[in-house]
Amino acid sequence: MPPAKLDAEAMARRAAGFIAPGDVVAVDTGLPSLIPGVTPPELGAWFLRNDGMLNNLPLSLADAAAITRGGYVNLAIVNAAQVDAAGSFAGTVSAANPDRQPPANSVDLAAGSGRVIAMLSHTDDQGRPNIVEALSSPADGLRCVNAIITDIAVIEVNGGGLALSEVAPGWSVDDVRAQTDADLSIPPALREMDFSLPANAPPSKVYPDGPSAIADVPDGATVFIDGFGGPGGMAHYLLISLRDRGSRDLTIVSNTAGIARVVSFGTPPGRTAIDHSVLIENGQVAKAIASFPVSPSVSRPSEFELAYRRGEVDLELVPQGTLAERLRAGGAGIHAFYTPTGAGTLIAEGKESRNIDGRDYILEYGLRADFAIIRAHKADTNGNLVYRGTSRNFNAVMAPAARVTVVEVDEIVEAVQLDLEEVVTPGVFVQRIVKRPDGFTGYE
Amino acid sequence: MTFSKLYDTPATAVADIHDGATLLIGGTTRSGEPTALLAALLTIGVRDLTCICDFADWDGSEGILQLAQAERIARVISPFPFVGENGGVIHKQWRDGALAVEVIPQGTLAERLRAAGAGIGGVFTPVGLGTRLADGKETRTINGVECVLESPLRADFALIRADRADALGNLAYRGAQRGWNAVMAPAARITIAEVDTVGEPGAIDPELVITPGIYVNRVVYTPPTGDRG
């Protein structure tokens, strides 16, 4: 007789062993909901729950789902009723109501996550196997499970089927096979489950200075540049750092293409405002995607305008709301959307038009970038950001849509010091933090 | 002239909810459910309601369960309409054919509500591909990823709950209250919020306002009763 099966907490501990430092982990209801309680806090994991809480950070469900769909989840742990040999799984609701019930919630977690782990009892209440050759109810996720944790085994799913990688203490391969309704291959590395947990911290997000934080921006990169028009909310220090680095052929995406220099916005006499113009003057920009690319003053054209007239730069003009929505879509895993903005105008040329319920829409696509350089007032060491006033506007919407988001802040505080209700950008969207040097201003 | 969105009682705030109305009901398990508004709705006797909510048949959602017990609900749209095979009244009514159920994954429900509130005509999302969720829906491959077209979901009324409001309807939440309430507020024709405290305009630090008052039509002050999350 094999020994008793693992209890739920032991299963949760084994699942926690899959978490790498700093991982974003989406935890389903049921068994996976126990994992945060057994994970060492030093690991710096971000647990996303289905009520919109990201650790202690309250999010709207639209923002929470954007984290999942947007590809920010390293590990999704679903509460499954059955898993089959192809790595498809059925959630508990689907399994209980196979005749009429469409898939339940875990499909969210199945889409867009790095790795998917299914947790379940190896057998059901009647002792029938839950690891099966083919599901007996419709799938919540098709061929998406990478590993299975049960109360007697850990099973890896690879293209060729299921491989038994770990057994619970005291359990033999034959014991596990006897309770499994799918072929299990036995790799040489088969071992007994280990419940020890790593507690190493993730690498710090705090960089010593601007140049080190943008040192890997390559030629040809797409870069989001934050800010609205004037000096507020613009990462001036990072802009100068990017100029000094000299990356070329950049596509910049921003509300303007640099108008602060030619529109005063309160620039002190004798000074020059730092904006996108520093990159354009330096010959680094190949293209701008912007809402307000030119100066409102005909007699004082912006650097971008002059370069455009010389044929040195390309321009894609995007209405402001559409720019924001394309950024939001890019960060939220929405690949395209229909918007009424611009329908029937020049903006619609070359785009799909569609009448939906009597209103004309055009199809616009999500926008992503290699880097975002943004500005916030405060960051904690986890990268959670607080803005001040209007500086929130494009910063908050750009942060999730770039592969690497670098933020310039006035102040960096310890993780426990921010009011979590005040955080606008969760740290999962922020990879690098730089403090703006004391005395640095938006003017040269 | 003072303009106020304050209503004296939950009953007056929900008085024009009609038979057959589609309702967004905020909250997750034990947090953020508009219990006073749901109780008032029960007393006015409207029927054939479509309820769009996170958890329906769940011991944290008494307000929805009471509506179901009184046979007021015709349709539930929810990621978690009931749990497993031993659900309660909603599961039973669904099995008996007295009530229709539509399951939508959380993230897709949130996105469809967001689209409705933001004037977006539809979104292409990768969620649900290959499952019954995609049945009958347009699909398209974008950037190499197969996506399904989801439509905006708009309601007649949203019943939501917040921690505090000002008289202009600006709202701030507490913890997980934010989850669904913040997504639902913009997605209904009439949004009604019950709140624990009400202040003068400006009483909430603008940096802490989550739902701008333009999305909120009515505010009801409902003093906390102790057991509400």
pLDDT tens-digit map of A109-133: 777 678 999 999 999 989 999 999 9
A356 close to A346: Cβ distance less than 8 angstroms:
no
Q: What is the pLDDT of residue B56?
A: 73
Q: What 3-state DSSP class applies to A386?
A: strand
From A142, A325, A334, residue closest to B124, measured CB to CB: A334
**Confidence band of B229 (pLDDT split at 50, 70, 90):** very low
In which residue are the tokens 């439509």 written?
B151
Q: What is the pLDDT of residue B130?
A: 75
Q: What is the pLDDT of residue B1?
A: 40
Fold exhibited by the domain A8-192: Glutaconate Coenzyme A-transferase (3.40.1080)
* Secondary structure E strands in chain B: 6-7, 22-25, 49-52, 73-78, 100-103, 122-125, 139-142, 145-150, 155-166, 171-172, 188-199, 218-221
B13 close contact with A: CB closer than 8 A: no
Which of B189, B214, B137, B125 has its CA nearest to residue A338?
A: B125
Fold exhibited by the domain B6-119+153-221: Glutaconate Coenzyme A-transferase (3.40.1080)
Residue B136 CB neighbours (<10 A): 6
Residues B162-197 have pLDDT tens digits of 999 999 999 999 998 999 999 999 999 999 999 999
Which of B105, B56, B148, B82 has its CA nearest to residue A76?
A: B105
Average of pLDDT values for A49-71? 91
Residues A259-307 have pLDDT tens digits of 988 887 888 888 999 999 999 999 999 999 999 999 888 889 999 999 9
A77 close to A90: Cβ distance less than 8 angstroms:
no
Q: Per-residue pLDDT for B144 more than 60?
A: yes
Q: What is the pLDDT of residue B4?
A: 81
Nearest Cα residue in chain B from A422:
B208
Q: Å from A358 to nearest chain B CA? A: 11
ipTM of model: 0.92
Which of A316, A429, A294 has its CA nearest to residue A374?
A: A429
From B114, B118, B132, residue closest to A102, measured CB to CB: B132
Burial A26-53 (b: 16+ CB within 10 A, else e): bbbbbbbbbbbebbeeebbbbbbbbbbb
A69 close contact with B: CB closer than 8 A: yes
Q: What is the pLDDT of residue A369?
A: 97
Q: Å from B177 to nearest chain A CA? A: 8
Most A-contacting residue of B83, B93, B140, B178 (CB-CB within 10 A), to test interface: B178
Q: What's the alpha-carbon Rg for chain A, to the nearest Å?
A: 26
- Enumerate the domain spans of chain A: 8-192, 210-435
**In this complex, do A107 and B208 lie within 8 Å of one another by their Cβ atoms?**
no
Q: Per-residue pLDDT for B124 more than 50?
A: yes
Average of pLDDT values for A78-103? 75
The terminus-to-terminus CA distance of chain B in angstroms comes to: 36
Average of pLDDT values for A355-359? 95
Average of pLDDT values for B19-48? 91
- Chain A residues inside the 8 Å CB shell of B210: 60
Q: What is the pLDDT of residue A111?
A: 72
Share of chain A above pLDDT 90, in %: 77
Q: Å from B146 to nearest chain A CA? A: 9
Residues B85-116 have pLDDT tens digits of 556 888 889 889 999 988 888 899 999 999 99
**Confidence band of A218 (pLDDT split at 50, 70, 90):** very high
A139 close contact with B: CB closer than 8 A: yes
B100 close contact with A: CB closer than 8 A: no
- A420: its two tokens: 């979590």
Homologous superfamily in CATH for domain A210-435: Glutaconate Coenzyme A-transferase (3.40.1080.10)
**Confidence band of B213 (pLDDT split at 50, 70, 90):** very high
- What are the beta bridge partners of residue A148? A118, A155
How many beta-carbon contacts under 8 Å exist across A and B? 177
A50 close contact with B: CB closer than 8 A: yes
Q: What is the pLDDT of residue A254?
A: 96
Q: What 3-state DSSP class applies to A309?
A: helix
A365 close contact with B: CB closer than 8 A: yes
**In this complex, do B125 and A53 lie within 8 Å of one another by their Cβ atoms?**
no
